[in-house]
């Protein structure tokens, strides 16, 4: 199959690039090795919209962070993603820390960050009554906030699919060859989730050879390998794992903003934050690992995270933890984001090494990459396209009157599937049928929050699996959790 | 739509069914049971093993049979049963908001409410078991539902973490279905479930029980391929060097039950930390006037018979309450009941002195295992209740009886173990 542009990787970067390019009259494919989008770093991170005072002025990290932070409110509005602009504090606990705050503040001012100020202890304690009273000062950033990273990723890809982008799931890139100015990408299926294909946007790989004029490498931790396939081995990705502990919504109001600790000689510190959906999150640590897909948590590191978080807020209660998880950062050996057409391969664009603040930067990076592609291909805007999604307010977030109204109109809302998060049957069916819809139990969970609550799917997972099986038209025991081979159940007992 | 009831029972499991029936038999009119599932019975429906009803019916029934005894009776009454009805929120003035397939979004106002929402299982995340996030990890009750109600097996080689009753029952159930159960691992130095379940579900099937052992890591990329177990020390910290790899494709968790009190908390009701249930008096009344609690939402029980009896007690109290028009308790002296030496929790947590003599059973669980122990209820240094038990274990609930005539003028009662 021949495409104008082929994007490798459906993380938040690949998805936003797909969305930006989907305005133009051309054929675009996104190749994703997993069953869903946002399956790696984009799905497991802190969900912070960073203000941008952190990165060194002049770097790509700094530039795209600042622009991305300014773009985020409108992007979230367009994609109907909740952006809680709750602000952030970097907390200092001693003179050394106070000095770090000044450096960060000056850095931010030089970079063009708005809404920055150094604030005293009383200011912080008024806003954050549960903060450790031992703090001395803080750097306050009013423009920072929290979003759901996977929901942003899903929405960006959903938007791209609405504009005609083809998402090819469960497909690994095995080689890239350039012949007569065209890229020949050989692929291999990594799995084959069964579905009768009546769901929109579920494009199966039609052949294992994809041809494209332009290739965009957004392959996350594997982007160095993809780049090497195209003849550019100028950088390496060092996978660095970060672990998190997520707490019940009852703990979500423990803190009101993102609370960082100043990096000191003792360590980098970890953050304590409310999530966009109202939980409490602590983490991440950072450890270099050898396996790029080595997502796991460890006893000692989780213990260390908890103990470090207590420095920010002594009231964190481990009995209220509901899950632990980890994500893997794509740390580049160059020290900065790697974004641009490869010097060694024309038409091959690397968007690699996108670690933090990658989530914040993603819409800004996409806009920049759009410009690069424009310089290569002759692109015309489509007559008809959209940059906005229709919003569906979650039942959980509705007022009593809204609930009454929607239940009156649509019987699908009259059955609650997930008790903890009050998710209705209709919302789950919608999530399966939406562009970039769910095909796995975790896919439903990330789109609707069914199974995201304190019982972690204990009650609702059998029901979610039944609905998936009905909508996808496959037997119950072929439903998977998150990956192609993560079948949840075994055989029927009477088989 | 608004509907009015004298008594609303939230939950149609064993506690709610017993409460509604008793209230009906005591003469309460206009009762509703709000049940989220598509039939009454609660978790009993998936408990197809026997052993239920020895105390109430003096015979051994299966879970569905036990439930049927109540559902059949309820059918013959004019109790309103609303199925597929989920109470999504509640306020302190006894207003409930529910979603129902026939009425849509429904507002329910009741003169009295009985909370009988049951409990949920503690998931993997709550224990923060490290490792990979793979398929094949189930809470024991979810696996039980798949096997017994959907007829699908979770895998072929299982490890069970925690020796709670459901875990033990499932060890046997999986074995009977041809699944190899590698072992049951319990972090405590004694089992969490009933002794009869250790004997009938593990010993009889040669399934090893490893005490003072826990899981320190979960392996596998897509589906679980095994776990690393380790012995723990007296503080329940894993001991380095004792790790062992155990192969499995299924992990069942039976690591505790948590009362489902989100609605209770929304109603602003005072909670009791040790049970994660409401703080109640001898009538099982919460600190919200006319709101009662019973069954596993109040505290986790080991026998369904006790749940039934507690539901009946809550109903009798609600019936008494409905007969009166005002809050008669607010001016009565209240005496605290405190857990003392060796006691994890007590129920009720306080007692009203109503002016008339009343015999009250104070239920409790011990913190540890004792043999030939004496349970004492003391007040102001004097003993007001005493009971000898041959064996006292945390997994089996006990009680000691006191008489209100012995406690007038004192501020609190302590329940303690004398070993």
Query: Which positions 194-253 of A are in contact with B (Cβ < 8 Å)?
Result: 245-246, 250
Q: Are B142 and B198 in the same domain? A: yes
Provide mean pLDDT across the span B110-129. Answer: 94
Average pLDDT over residues B120-134: 91
In a domain, A79, yes or no: no
Q: In this structure, are B136 and B245 located in the same domain? A: yes
* A221 plus A345 within the same structural domain: yes
Note whether A258 and A125 are same-domain residues.
yes
Does A225 share its domain with A165?
A: yes
Tell me, yes or no, whether B167 and B201 share the same domain: yes
Over residues B392-405, the mean pLDDT reads 93
Residue A384 forms part of a structural domain:
no
Radius of gyration of chain A (CA): 22
Identify the CA nearest to B34 among candidates B84, B74, B109, B107.
B84
Query: Is A318 in the B-facing interface, judged by CB distances under 8 Å?
Result: yes
What is the spatial distance between Cα B95 and Cα A306, in angstroms, rounded to a whole number?
39
Give me the pLDDT at residue B310, please. 98
Question: Using the beta-carbon criterion (under 8 Å), do B123 and A323 form an inter-chain contact?
Answer: yes
User: Which residue among A245, A461, A476 places its CB closest to the CB of B128?
Assistant: A245
Both B201 and B116 in one domain: the answer is no
Specify if A285 maps to a domain: yes
Write out residues 80-109 of A within 8 Å (CB-CB) of B: none
Instruction: Tell me: pLDDT of A198 over 50.
Output: no
Domain assignment present for A65: no
CA distance B169 to B166: 5
Q: Which helix (H) or strand (E) holds A226?
A: helix A223-229
Q: How far is A145 from chain B (nearest CA, A)?
A: 26
Counting the structural domains of chain B, the total is: 3
Same domain, A230 and A347: yes
Tokens 């004398």 belong to B418
* A 372-411 residues inside an 8 A Cβ radius of B: 400, 403-404, 406-408, 411
Q: A454: domain CATH number?
A: 1.10.10.1100
Q: Which of A251, A287, A459 to mutate to test the interface with B (most CBs of B within 10 A)?
A: A459
CA of B147: which chain A residue's CA is closest? A493
Q: Mind listing the pLDDT tens digit for each residue in A338-367?
A: 999 999 999 999 999 999 999 999 999 999
Per-chain mean pLDDT for chain A: 94
Tell me which of B1, B36, B88 to substitute to probe the interface with A (most A C-beta atoms closer than 10 Å).
Answer: B88
Q: A297 and B130 in contact by Cβ < 8 A? A: yes
**Exposed (0-12), middle (13-18) or buried (19+): which is A235, by Cβ within 10 Å?**
middle
Look at residue A267 in the predicted model and tell me its pLDDT: 65
In a domain, A314, yes or no: yes
Q: Please check whether residues A359 and A422 belong to one and the same domain.
A: no
For residue B359, give both structure tokens. Answer: 């015999």
Same structural domain, A160 and A36: yes
Q: What pLDDT, in 10s, does the model give residues A438-468?
A: 999 999 999 999 999 988 998 999 999 999 9
Whether residue B358 is found in the same domain as residue B282: no
Q: Do A489 and B238 touch (CB under 8 A)?
A: no
Q: B236 to chain A nearest CA, in Å?
A: 13
Place A205 in a pLDDT band, splitting at 50, 70 and 90: very low
Residue with more model confidence, A495 or A34: A34
Whether B305 and B346 map to the same domain: the answer is no
Closest CA of chain B from A319, distance in Å = 7
Whether the predicted pLDDT of A263 surpasses 90: no
B175-207 pLDDT, tens digit per residue, is: 999 999 999 999 999 999 988 999 999 999 999
Which residues of chain B have a CB within 8 Å of the CB of A247? none
Both B343 and B406 in one domain: the answer is yes
Contact A462 B146 (CB under 8 A): yes
pLDDT at A305: 96
Beta bridge partner(s), residue A337: none
User: Residue A37 above 90 pLDDT?
Assistant: yes
Looking at the fold, whether B275 and B371 belong to one and the same domain comes out as: no
A281 and A356 both lie in a single domain: no
* Overall domain count for chain A: 3
Which residues of A form the catalytic set? 50
Does residue B35 sit in helix, strand or coil?
coil
**Residues of chain B contacting residue A323, judged by C-beta atoms under 8 Å apart:** 123-125
| Among A49, A51, A53, residue whose Cα is nearest residue A76 | A49
Number of other residues whose CB lies within 10 A of the CB of residue A140: 22
| pLDDT at position A284 over 60 | yes
Do residue A459 and residue B156 have CB atoms under 8 angstroms apart? no
**Looking at the structure, do residues B162 and B191 belong to the same domain, yes or no?**
yes
Distances (CA, A) of A82 to A19, A276, A419: 19, 7, 22
Regarding whether B336 and B318 lie in a shared domain, the answer is no
* C-beta atoms of B153 and A492 within 8 A: yes
DSSP B237: P
Q: Are residues A102 and A224 in the same domain?
A: no
Q: Look at residue A202 in the predicted model and tell me its pLDDT.
A: 45
Sole residue written with tokens 């896919």: A443
Q: How many CB atoms within 10 Å of residue A472? A: 23
CB A239 within 8 A of CB A288: yes
CB distance A404–B104 less than 8 Å? yes
Q: Are residues A94 and A114 in the same domain?
A: yes
Give residue A193's pLDDT: 75
Give pLDDT tens digits for B62-91: 999 999 999 999 999 999 999 999 999 999
Q: Give residue A194's pLDDT.
A: 58
Bond before A357 cis per omega within 30 degrees: yes
Residues of B whose CB is below 8 A from A459: 120, 142
The answer to whether the Cβ–Cβ distance between B221 and A483 falls below 8 Å is yes
**Residue B9 shares a structural domain with residue B112:** yes
- Distance between B113 CA and the closest CA of chain A, angstroms: 20
A85 with A51: CB under 8 angstroms?
no
Query: From B2, which residue of chain A is nearest by alpha-carbon distance?
Result: A404
Structural domain harbouring B203? 123-255
ipTM for the whole complex: 0.92
Cβ contact, residue pair A458, B123, below 8 Å: yes
Mean pLDDT for chain B overall: 95
Using a CB-CB distance cutoff of 8 angstroms, which residues of chain A are in contact with residue B84?
Answer: 414-415
Residue A247 — pLDDT band, cuts 50, 70, 90?
very high
User: Do A363 and A442 lie in a common domain?
Assistant: no
Q: Kindly state the average pLDDT of the residues B47-55.
A: 95
- B276: nearest Cα among B292, B257, B299: B299
Dihedral class, residue A465 (left if φ above 0, else alpha if ψ from -120 to 50, else beta): alpha
Residues 6+ apart with CB under 8 A from B319: B22, B23, B26, B27, B28
Phi-psi region of B72 (alpha: psi -120 to 50; beta: other; left: phi over 0): alpha
Query: Inter-chain contact B99–A403, Cβ cutoff 8 Å?
Result: yes
pLDDT in tens, A469-486: 999 999 999 999 999 999
Query: Which residues of A are less than 8 Å from B177 in CB distance?
Result: 493
CATH code for the domain in which residue B228 is found: 3.50.50.60
Of B86, B151, B222, the CB nearest to A493: B151
Average pLDDT over residues A24-39: 97
State how far the Cα of B186 lies from the Cα of B394, in Å rounded to an integer. Answer: 14
Chain B contact for A302, CB < 8 A?
yes
Banded model confidence at residue A191, pLDDT cuts 50, 70, 90: confident
Minimal CA–CA distance to B48: which of B122, B137, B118, B150?
B150
Residues A250 and A326 in one domain: yes
Taking one residue from A and the other from B, the number of pairs with CB-CB distance under 8 angstroms is 149
Residue A457 lies in a domain: yes
pLDDT for A80-129, tens place per residue? 999 999 999 999 999 999 999 999 999 999 999 999 999 999 999 999 99
Give how far B105 is from chain A: nearest CA, Å. 5
Does any domain span residue A68?
no
Query: Is this prediction's pTM over 0.80?
Result: yes
CA distance A321 to chain B (A): 5
Of the candidates A245, A458, A482, which has its C-beta nearest B142's C-beta?
A: A458
Question: Where is the domain boundary, B290, B313, B329?
Answer: B329
Residue A67 forms part of a structural domain: no
Name the domain boundary from B255, B287, B308: B255
In angstroms, the CA B216 to CA A328 distance is 21
Give the span between the Cα atoms of A94 and A100, in whole angstroms.
10
Judge whether residue A232 has pLDDT over 80.
yes
CA distance A192 to A198: 15
Name the one residue in this structure whose structure tokens are 């699996």. Answer: A465
Question: Looking at residues A146-155, what average pLDDT do you find?
Answer: 98
In a shared domain, residues B284 and B363: no
Q: Does A49 touch chain B (CB under 8 A)?
A: no
Based on the fold, state whether residues A264 and A232 are members of the same structural domain.
no
* pLDDT confidence bin for A207, thresholds 50/70/90: low
Full domain range(s) for residue A184: 2-42+150-236+335-376
Q: Considering B211, B229, B255, which residue would you say is the last residue of a domain?
A: B255
Nearest CB among B99, B128, B216 relative to A416 is that of B99
């Amino acid at each position: 199959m021949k495409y104008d542009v082929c994007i490798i990787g459906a993380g938040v970067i690949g998805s936003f690039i797909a969305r930006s390019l989907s305005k133009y009259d051309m054929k675009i494919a996104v190749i994703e090795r997993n069953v869903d989008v946002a399956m790696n770093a984009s799905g497991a991170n802190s969900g912070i919209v960073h203000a941008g005072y952190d990165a060194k002025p002049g770097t790509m990290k700094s530039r795209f962070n600042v622009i991305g932070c300014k773009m985020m409110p409108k992007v979230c509005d367009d994609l109907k993603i909740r952006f809680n602009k709750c602000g952030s504090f970097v907390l200092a606990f001693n003179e050394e820390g106070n000095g770090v705050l000044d450096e960060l503040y000056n850095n931010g001012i030089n970079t063009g960050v708005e809404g920055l100020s150094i604030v005293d202890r009383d200011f912080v304690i008024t806003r954050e009554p549960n903060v450790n009273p031992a703090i001395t000062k803080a750097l306050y950033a009013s423009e920072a906030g929290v979003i759901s990273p996977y929901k942003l990723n899903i929405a960006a890809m959903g938007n791209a699919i609405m504009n005609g982008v083809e998402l090819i799931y469960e497909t690994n890139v095995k080689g890239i060859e350039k012949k007569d100015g065209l890229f020949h990408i050989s692929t291999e299926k990594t799995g084959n989730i069964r579905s009768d294909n009546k769901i929109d946007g579920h494009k199966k790989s039609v052949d294992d050879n994809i041809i494209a004029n332009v290739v965009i490498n957004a392959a996350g931790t594997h982007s160095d390998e993809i780049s090497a396939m195209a003849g550019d081995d100028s950088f390496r990705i060092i996978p660095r794992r970060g672990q998190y502990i997520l707490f019940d919504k009852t703990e979500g109001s423990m803190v009101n903003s993102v609370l960082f600790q100043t990096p000191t000689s003792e360590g980098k510190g970890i953050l304590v934050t409310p999530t966009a959906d109202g939980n409490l999150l602590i983490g991440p640590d950072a450890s270099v690992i050898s396996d790029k897909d080595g997502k796991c948590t460890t006893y000692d590191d989780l213990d260390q995270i908890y103990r470090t978080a207590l420095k920010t807020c002594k009231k964190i209660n481990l009995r209220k933890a509901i899950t632990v998880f980890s994500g893997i950062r794509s740390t580049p050996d160059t020290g900065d984001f790697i974004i641009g057409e490869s010097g060694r391969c024309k038409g091959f664009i690397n968007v690699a090494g996108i670690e933090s603040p990658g989530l914040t930067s993603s819409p800004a990076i996409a806009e920049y990459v759009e410009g690069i592609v424009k310089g290569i291909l002759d692109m015309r805007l489509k007559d008809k396209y959209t940059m906005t999604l229709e919003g569906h307010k979650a039942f959980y977030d509705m007022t009593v009157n809204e609930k009454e109204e929607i239940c009156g109109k649509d019987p699908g809302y009259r059955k609650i599937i997930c008790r903890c998060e009050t998710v209705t049957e209709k919302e789950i069916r919608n999530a399966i049928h939406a562009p970039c819809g769910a095909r796995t139990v975790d896919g439903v969970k990330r789109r609707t929050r069914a199974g995201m609550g304190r019982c972690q799917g204990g009650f609702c997972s059998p029901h979610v699996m039944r609905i998936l099986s009905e909508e996808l038209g496959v037997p119950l025991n072929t439903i998977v959790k998150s990956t192609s081979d993560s079948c949840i159940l075994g055989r029927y007992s009477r088989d | 739509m608004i509907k009015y009831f004298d008594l609303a029972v939230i939950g149609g499991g064993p506690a709610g069914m017993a409460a509604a029936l008793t209230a009906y038999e005591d003469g309460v009119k206009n009762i509703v049971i709000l049940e989220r599932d598509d039939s009454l019975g609660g978790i009993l429906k998936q408990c197809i093993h026997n052993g239920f009803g020895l105390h109430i019916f003096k015979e051994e029934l299966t879970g569905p049979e036990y439930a049927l005894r109540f559902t059949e009776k309820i059918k013959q009454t004019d109790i309103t049963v609303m199925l597929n009805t989920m109470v999504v929120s509640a306020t302190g003035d006894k207003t409930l908001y529910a979603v129902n397939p026939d009425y849509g979004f429904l507002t329910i106002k009741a003169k009295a409410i009985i909370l009988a929402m049951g409990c949920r299982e503690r998931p993997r995340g709550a224990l923060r078991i490290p490792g990979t996030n793979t398929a094949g990890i189930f809470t024991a009750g979810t696996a039980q539902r798949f096997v017994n109600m959907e007829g699908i097996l979770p895998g072929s080689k299982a490890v069970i973490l925690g020796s709670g009753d459901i875990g033990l029952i499932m060890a046997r159930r999986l074995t009977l279905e041809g699944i190899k159960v590698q072992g049951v691992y319990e972090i405590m130095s004694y089992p969490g479930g009933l002794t009869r379940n250790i004997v009938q579900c593990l010993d009889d099937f040669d399934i090893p029980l490893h005490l003072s052992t826990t899981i320190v890591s979960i392996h596998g990329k897509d589906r679980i391929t095994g776990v690393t177990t380790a012995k723990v020390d007296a503080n329940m910290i894993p001991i380095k060097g004792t790790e062992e790899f155990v192969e499995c494709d299924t992990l069942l968790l039976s690591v505790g039950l948590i009362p489902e009190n989100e609605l209770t908390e929304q109603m602003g009701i005072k909670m009791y930390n040790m049970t994660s249930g409401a703080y109640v008096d001898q009538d099982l009344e919460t600190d919200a006037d006319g709101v009662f609690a019973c069954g596993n939402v109040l505290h986790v029980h080991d026998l369904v018979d006790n749940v039934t009896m507690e539901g009946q007690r809550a109903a009798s109290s609600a019936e008494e309450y409905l007969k009166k028009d005002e809050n008669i308790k607010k001016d009565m002296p209240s005496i605290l009941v405190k857990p003392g030496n060796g006691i994890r929790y007590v129920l009720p947590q306080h007692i009203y002195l109503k002016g008339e003599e009343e015999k009250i059973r104070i239920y409790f669980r011990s913190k540890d295992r004792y043999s030939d122990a004496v349970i004492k209820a003391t007040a102001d240094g004097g003993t007001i209740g005493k009971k000898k038990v041959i064996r006292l274990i945390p997994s089996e609930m006990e009680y000691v009886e006191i008489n209100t005539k012995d406690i007038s003028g004192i501020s609190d009662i302590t329940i303690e173990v004398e070993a």
